[in-house]
Amino acid sequence: MHLLCDDAIKRRMIKGVLTVRSRWHRATTTTPRGRTILEQDIEALLMVAPRVIAIGDFNAKAQDWNSRQLNPSRAALRRFLENTDNVTAIGPTEPTFDGQGRFAPDVLDIALLKAIPTETDITSHNEGSSDHNPVLLTMGDPTRQGDIIRNTDWTDFRAEMQRSTAIPRIETTDDLEAAVVSLETDIRTALERSITETRAVRQTNYMGEIPLQAQQLIRDRRAARRRVLRTGIPEHRRTANQLGRRIRAALNEHRQETWRRFVESLNPDDNSLWKTQKALRTRRRPFPPLHGETGIACTDRDKAEAFADSLELQCRENQLNDEDEEHTDLRRTQEVTINGDAIQWSDNVKYLGVHLDRTMTWGHHAAETIRKAKTARAMLYPLLCGESRVNLRNKLLLMKTVIQPQLTYASTAWGHACKTHLKRIQAVENIALRTATSAPWFVRNRDLYRDLEWTPVLKVIKAKAAKVYAKATDHENPLLRAAVDYEPDRAATHKRPRQQLLLDPG
């Protein structure tokens, strides 16, 4: 391409694929060759697919698409439109460029439509803080309320299948074919009877209801941008820019407050806390495309063929070797077996998320806990670092929601580990706190705890243990009461679980 920057996306439609391209062309100047748009550029842009929408700043001014002035780039675009039957150009009636005080406001952002059969309308909106207004291209019926969503009630589908499907008697090939046709008919009928259609409500704002103050600022900025496009006076431009900065500040505060309310509403009882924690810690990976023998399967028919070929390959008879081979392994020690299968010894085992090692020193569990917490801290770094726009209160909520539960999971079982392991666990949280506050090296951790009113992880472990053991002491099960009926000894060589009540967080 020649002096053109472009991004392209494809949208699959009922009758083929629609390609949408975003376009920017460098402005025409008085310098020699190379600044005006060329016909081969437009042709290369639009000939990539049967149906294309190219929308953006072409810097081609002509009255045919509502521009006030003319420039050299219009000639190439007009010649291309005259020589091409199925391509049209449309532009909004209001200016899309405010001129930046050096030029007159004009229409620069237009849309080129290739083989688009539906009605289209393009409008300019006085939004944002750029010198170009965003343009909205509306296709089809503007009164359409939303897409139709088909929901299947699988309970009704199962009941309908059980009611209508009978097990046939199959003796011949014709009986088999008839049974297959009958089963397909029953499935289609059951689906039609169990599907309900609803019309989706278009979501206009993912942040929820915008505060009234911010809404008023947005209305004021729209009026100010209209005034700029009408007059071009620098004072009016400064007023619009000031309103834009106030809107960004108000919306940022609204985002922070929305996030704070969401985090504070999380509850471990209804699993919302753990679902959010998992979503924040898990890196979403796109589903890979489905490949068949002929390449990537795009249509439903190609996908069905790919599944059928895979099932056919899996259901083939295995090429087994009929010759029996026998191997005997002689050892001096007798292996433990269950149903004839030898059980291999392991130095550690994971049970309910807790790693049990042979010596019960909890070193392996501490290492795994630290590794998971460091991974979560690294994934949250863009939100916790000093350059993040998240305020300090929400940063601490994030740490309390995601990182601290990682460090204290099942701490009642391993909280009596040696001080070396516990200090390493506390260090992970300290680093996250210092990252969130951008604390310099000379600020002590205990000063951070005091200033932030933060409960360190070792105190959380001790408080959870005290709560659990107090409940176990009064439990109705005598075995549970007997298990905790002892006094921890600080000088004991071998620590017991209740000894974490003597933990000194420092």
Report the pLDDT value the prediction gives residue 15, as an integer from 0 to 100: 46
Give SS3 for 367.
helix
Q: Is 100 left (phi over 0), alpha (psi -120 to 50) or beta?
A: left
Report the pLDDT value the prediction gives residue 4, as an integer from 0 to 100: 41
Give the mean pLDDT of 252-256.
87
Report the pLDDT value the prediction gives residue 322, as an integer from 0 to 100: 58
Question: Around Cβ 374, how many Cβ atoms within 10 Å?
Answer: 15
Measured between alpha carbons, how far is 78 from 234 in angstroms, rounded to an integer? Answer: 34
* Percent of the chain predicted with pLDDT > 90: 18
**Minimal CA–CA distance to 433: which of 472, 400, 476?**
400
Q: How confident is the model at residue 8 (pLDDT cuts 50, 70, 90)?
A: very low
Inform me whether the pLDDT recorded for 208 exceeds 80.
no
Lowest mean pLDDT among 45-49, 248-252, 402-406, 411-415: 45-49
Report the pLDDT value the prediction gives residue 325, as an integer from 0 to 100: 61
- Would you say 494 and 486 are in contact if contact means Cβ atoms under 8 Å apart? no
Report the pLDDT value the prediction gives residue 35, as an integer from 0 to 100: 59
Measured between alpha carbons, how far is 316 from 308 in angstroms, rounded to an integer? Answer: 13
Report the pLDDT value the prediction gives residue 136, as an integer from 0 to 100: 87
Give SS3 for 169.
coil
Measured in Å, how far apart are the chain's first and last C-alpha atoms? 65
pLDDT higher at 213 or 99: 213
Report the pLDDT value the prediction gives residue 188, as an integer from 0 to 100: 92
Inform me whether the pLDDT recorded for 205 exceeds 50.
yes
In whole numbers, what is the pLDDT of the chain averaged over residues? 81
Report the pLDDT value the prediction gives residue 357, as an integer from 0 to 100: 87
The neighbouring-strand residues paired with 351 are: 354
Give the mean pLDDT of 301-313.
87
Inform me whether the pLDDT recorded for 2 exceeds 60.
no
Report the pLDDT value the prediction gives residue 320, as an integer from 0 to 100: 66
Q: How confident is the model at residue 368 (pLDDT cuts 50, 70, 90)?
A: very high
pLDDT higher at 22 or 447: 447
114 token code pair: 């290739």
Measured between alpha carbons, how far is 25 from 399 in angstroms, rounded to an integer? Answer: 46
Give the mean pLDDT of 250-269.
82
Q: What are phi and psi of 39, to 5 degrees?
A: -65, -35
Measured between alpha carbons, how far is 113 from 51 in angstroms, rounded to an integer? Answer: 8
Inform me whether the pLDDT recorded for 204 exceeds 60.
no
Inform me whether the pLDDT recorded for 265 exceeds 70.
yes
404 token code pair: 């601290």
Q: What are phi and psi of 418, to 5 degrees?
A: -65, 160
Give SS3 for 259.
helix
**Minimal CA–CA distance to 39: which of 9, 91, 4?**
4
Report the pLDDT value the prediction gives residue 323, as an integer from 0 to 100: 62
Lowest mean pLDDT among 92-106, 151-165, 186-200, 464-478: 92-106
Residue with tokens 């501490």: 366
Report the pLDDT value the prediction gives residue 18, as an integer from 0 to 100: 56
The amino acid present at 460, given as its one-letter code, is V
Inform me whether the pLDDT recorded for 454 exceeds 60.
yes
- Would you say 137 and 148 are in contact if contact means Cβ atoms under 8 Å apart? no
Give the mean pLDDT of 240-253.
90
pLDDT tens figures, 320-329:
665 656 666 6
Q: How far is CA 404 from the centre of its chain?
A: 23
336 token code pair: 């433990």
Identify the top-confidence range among 6-20, 309-323, 372-386.
372-386
Measured between alpha carbons, how far is 59 from 56 in angstroms, rounded to an integer? Answer: 9
Measured between alpha carbons, how far is 53 from 60 in angstroms, rounded to an integer? Answer: 17
* Percent of the chain predicted with pLDDT > 70: 85
Give the mean pLDDT of 38-56.
81
Inform me whether the pLDDT recorded for 13 exceeds 70.
no
pLDDT higher at 276 or 246: 246
Q: How confident is the model at residue 367 (pLDDT cuts 50, 70, 90)?
A: very high
Alpha helices, DSSP H only, in 16-153? Answer: 39-46, 73-83
CA–CA distance from 378 to each of 167, 280, 416, 477 (Å)?
A: 57, 11, 28, 43
Lowest mean pLDDT among 20-29, 132-141, 377-386, 389-398: 20-29
**Minimal CA–CA distance to 502: which of 487, 481, 480?**
487
Q: How confident is the model at residue 34 (pLDDT cuts 50, 70, 90)?
A: very low
HSE-up (13 A, CA, CB side) for residue 249: 8
Measured between alpha carbons, how far is 148 from 285 in angstroms, rounded to an integer? Answer: 28
